[in-house]
Amino acid sequence: MTSKGGQGTKHQETLDLGEGKSGLWGALAGLIVAALIAVPLSAAFAFATHPHSQQLFGGRLEEASAGGYQAFWWIVTILLAALPFLVGFGVAKLSARSLVIVGAIVIIFVVLIVILGQLFVF
């Protein structure tokens, strides 16, 4: 194409395969997380809806009130149900560096929770 000045303008397009695909990667990550937490989610829901399941846990959980026990399991159920959506949103919207930082923080918290659980519960 030429313009009035006689100079040619070049129109060049590049093919970016990753453009617009972050939403799909987020959906895939959310689906994978949903598959991984399906059993813990159903167990938490079962514990929240059946108050007699408190007797399955000996020791400190057995001494808790029925309302506190159910509230705890409902909170766990809601957090587990929200996890696939949060992971999918994070993968779709955050940069690679931000994902690594968030992942490292989550791993550190999980390790600390497991260590503290071993020290104080068992």
What pLDDT does residue 45 have? 94
Q: Are 84 and 30 contacting, i.e. CB atoms less than 8 angstroms apart?
A: yes
Is 117 within the bounds of a domain?
A: no
Is 100 within the bounds of a domain?
A: no
DSSP string, 10-34: -------TTTT-HHHHHHHHHHHHH
**Rounded distance, CA 37 to CA 30, Å?**
11
Q: Are 54 and 64 contacting, i.e. CB atoms less than 8 angstroms apart?
A: yes
Ranges of residues in the chain with a pLDDT under 70 are 1-20, 60-61, 120-122
What pLDDT does residue 67 have? 84
- Residue 75 domain boundaries: 23-94
Is 67 within the bounds of a domain?
A: yes
Number of domains in the chain: 1
CA–centroid distance for 115 within its chain: 21
Residue 80 makes CB contacts below 8 A (sequence gap 6+) with 37, 40, 41, 44
Is 11 within the bounds of a domain?
A: no
Q: In sequence order, which ranges of 54-95 are alpha helices (DSSP H)?
A: 60-63, 66-93
Q: Are 41 and 77 contacting, i.e. CB atoms less than 8 angstroms apart?
A: yes
Is 122 within the bounds of a domain?
A: no
